[in-house]
Amino acid sequence: ISNKKAFRYTNCIADPAFPSSRWFRQTEAEPFLPRFSFQEASSHILFDSTGRSITTEKGFRMARANVAAREGRWYYECKILSGVRSPTHDPSLNYNNEPGGHVRLGWARREANLDTPVGFDAYSYGLRDVSGQRVHMSRPKDFAPANESFCEGDVIGLEITLPSLALHRKVVEGSYNKAVDVSDDLEPHPAAEAPDIVRDRVPIRYKGIVYFEQFEYSSTKDLEELMNPSPSVSTAATNTASTAPPNPNHPSVALRTLPFSSIKVYKNGKMIGTPFTDLLAFLPPASKPAAQQGARDGLDDGMLGYFPAISVFRGGAAEVNFGPDFWCPPSDLALPTTNGVAAADENEDGDEIEGPGEKSASALAPKDPATQKQHSQGKNSRLRGMGERYVEQIAEDVVYDLVDEVDFWVLDAMENPDAVGTDGAEAQKGRSASVAAGIATGAAMVEQGVLGGGGGEIKEIVQEEE
């Protein structure tokens, strides 16, 4: 199944420990690791068994990762397996003199079109392999030194920096003040109440497998107008608003940018520049679902953000690496941490020890003062691999599932208070009985396609094969 026609699909599984009207919780598909998402990819993308390498026989097609950056500093690598030939490559390795295809790489939001290259629209920022140009809204501009191409065998590292979600919300809510908000706020004080994460979704069946279906965020008219300005004449006020460049205080929420945001690029471990700054905001209402019955604006489902994205063209092939064992890590990439402290093995006296062929955490730590300061900061201020973000994302999904289950449990009680009981002991007794019954009947309910606790029949959907 793939995400299309204004809907998004995620894997789910029946959980008899959730004895409310919603028996299902979110899960991952194998392999259980940070990789390309099988749903967040064009139907013409071909994957390897790990889900980390892709190619296609068609024109440019895109695949996004199954993990998103929402705040902080994050890094991933892309190795070009088949693409532009290096000027120094061995001609004998170019079998039949066939071209190697092309690869584009970068970061993309969920609204980005999967049947286009990265950088095609306002929802993605990309790099061309030819001449190393940067591309946004289909407008290529020179970037790489001496227009040096990204060739087969090159490892391209991409770092994204996003301000805190608290500052991000100020931007989309219209309360951002450049004179007051002078930092990225990546290490804010814990808020008294966390913002709501709302996932409007229902379980559906496709080819015998149950998925969650929800409304997908779609492109907005303002960003389409930004990419392809209309020649029509408008009023002076409207014209001023529409022609103003994107900025944090733009009249249109979709055209507001994130202060302190940027994308940096590394080639074979060496930073070559910062092609993009002031990235477009993605939190609602900057992102919104298509106008249709049942869709609600202004809700964050917890998976909005910038995703690692790769596009391949006619035989082009690429492999991604989300860490922790990067091929060409930048010098300031933070070590994997435990409770915010760089991990290291210690002996009984507390001294760090090294295994065969290994270096201690202190030996691996960067030596220059600026980078050492970066390591001493909080986790969001440190540069980390996207593999760490994947672990955080799984933990967030578990929490959101529990919150959803409590919500459905409360709704069940409101609709049928007698079934829950008025006394605490009775409530616990009823819940335990429900769990026991769920364990016995959960598998049968999945097989029959029926929701627990008085739900309805699961909808069967059909997608046309391309």
Three-state SS for 384-437 is: EEHHHHHHHHHHHHHHHHHHHHHHHHHHHHHHCHHHHCCCHHHHHHHHHHHHHH
- Nearest of 189, 214, 184, 159 to residue 39 by alpha carbon: 214
Whether pLDDT at 355 is above 60:
no
Q: What is the mean pLDDT of residues 269-288?
A: 97
Phi, psi for 205 (deg, rounded to 5): -115, 135
pLDDT digits (tens, 9 = 90+) for 316-326: 999 999 999 99
Amino acid letter at 434?
Answer: S
Q: What tokens were used for 389?
A: 């973000």
CA-based end-to-end distance of the chain: 12
What burial class does residue 242 get, using C-beta atoms within 10 Å of its C-beta: 0-12 exposed, 13-18 middle, 19+ buried? Answer: middle
Strands, E assignment, 164-269: 201-206, 209-215, 217-218, 262-267
Amino acid letter at 396?
Answer: E
Best-predicted range by mean pLDDT among 235-239, 287-291, 333-337? 287-291
**Per-residue pLDDT band at 216 (split at 50, 70, 90):** very high
**132 DSSP 8-state letter:** T
Whether pLDDT at 142 is above 70:
yes
> With b meaning 16 or more CB within 10 Å and e meaning fewer, what string describes 126-146?
bbbbbebbbbbeeeeeebbee
Whether pLDDT at 80 is above 50:
yes
Q: What is the mean pLDDT of residues 240-262?
A: 90
**C-alpha 299, offset from chain centre:** 17
**450 DSSP 8-state letter:** B
Is the distance from CB of 157 to CB of 266 less than 8 angstroms? yes
| Amino acid 86: pLDDT | 82
| Amino acid 414: pLDDT | 72
Which region among 69-73, 182-186, 213-217 has the lowest average model confidence (pLDDT)?
182-186
Whether pLDDT at 345 is above 60:
no
Strands, E assignment, 70-218: 72-82, 102-108, 124-128, 134-136, 139-141, 155-162, 201-206, 209-215, 217-218
193 three-state secondary structure: coil
Residue 441 CB contacts under 8 Å (≥ 6 apart), including other chains: 16, 452
pLDDT digits (tens, 9 = 90+) for 150-170: 999 999 999 999 999 999 999
- The most distant pair of C-alpha atoms in the chain lies apart, rounded to whole Å, by 80
341 three-state secondary structure: strand
Sign of the dihedral through C-alpha 175, 181, 184, 189: negative
Q: Which residue has the tokens 């001294």?
A: 351
| Amino acid 411: pLDDT | 78
Sign of the dihedral through C-alpha 224, 230, 235, 239: positive
Q: Would you tell me how many other CB atoms lie within 10 Å of the CB of residue 439?
A: 12
- % the chain with pLDDT above 70: 73
Q: Is the pTM of this model over 0.85?
A: no
Is the distance from CB of 383 to CB of 333 less than 8 angstroms? yes
Is the distance from CB of 71 to CB of 169 less than 8 angstroms? no
Q: Which residues are paired to 47 by β-bridges?
A: 54
Whether pLDDT at 371 is above 90:
no
Taking the C-alpha atoms of residue 58 and residue 381, their distance in angstroms, rounded to an integer, is 40
Which region among 180-194, 240-254, 309-323 has the lowest average model confidence (pLDDT)?
180-194
Residue 232 CB contacts under 8 Å (≥ 6 apart), including other chains: none
Q: What is the mean pLDDT of residues 353-357?
A: 42
| Amino acid 410: pLDDT | 82
**Per-residue pLDDT band at 353 (split at 50, 70, 90):** very low
CA angle, 461 then 462 then 466, to 5° = 145
pLDDT digits (tens, 9 = 90+) for 435-462: 444 334 333 433 444 333 334 557 666 6
Omega prior to 336 cis, within 30 of 0? no
Best-predicted range by mean pLDDT among 142-156, 228-242, 448-462? 142-156
